Amino acid sequence: SKRVAILISGSGSNMVSLLDSMTGDHPARPVLVLSNNPQAGGLEKARARDVATAVVDHRPFKGDRPAFEAALQAELERHAPDIICLAGFMRVLTAGFVQHWQGRMLNIHPSLLPKYKGLNTHARAIEAGDAEAGCTVHEVTAELDDGPILGQARVPVLPDDTPDLLAKRVLVQEHRLYPAVLRRYAEGDRRPVMLP
Ligand code: GAR
């Protein structure tokens, strides 16, 4: 089966949804959860599921992204993943690193791409008066939050929405979408998964 590494920075709820999906006859299995943040809540959740964890703290590298990524690369190579899932991983990756893993690296982003690349996606969707919002899983390319779309899920924006309320509604869909895309991707099927 395909070897999956999951990169996180925070609570890791998407990571949990991916880990918990990889059971039974699933075409992939988790081999590593890696965080740039030693305090990431997701690390304990991975350990509780008997998945190997590693931390590559970005802070000692003081903005030297290539050096940080060399350490990241070394850790990844030890676990030889076939697929890397970025799941709330909040470091921007350089073109060189992305190119090394291109075609093997996925990301989940909390907007209906190509709308709202970057941060504060939910506030921007509300501010724009959008009737719907959602999330996207895409292949990672050198451009931030770009690359072929592998799946989307949509939710309504409600009249009295706040960014937090909308984020919670979208997150429920993220937890459905990412496992659905990973399963299909691990089977070698790149057709997008479109959830209602
Ligand atoms: C998720 O909503 C994910 O889409 C978003 O961060 C959250 C992580 O939550 N990712 C980005 O904003 C990427 N730029 P989680 O740690 O509970 O999965």
12 lines ligand 1 (CB under 6 A): yes
- Beta carbons within 8 Å of 116's beta carbon, 6+ residues apart: 124, 125
152 lines ligand 1 (CB under 6 A): no
CA of 22 from ligand 1 middle (Å) equals: 20
**At residue 78, what is the residue type?**
R
What's the alpha-carbon Rg for the chain, to the nearest Å?
Answer: 16
134 lines ligand 1 (CB under 6 A): no
pLDDT 10s digits, 101-127? 999 999 999 999 999 999 999 999 999
CA 114 to chain centre: 16
* pTM exceeding the 0.90 threshold for the entire prediction: yes
pLDDT 10s digits, 37-62? 999 999 999 999 999 999 999 999 99
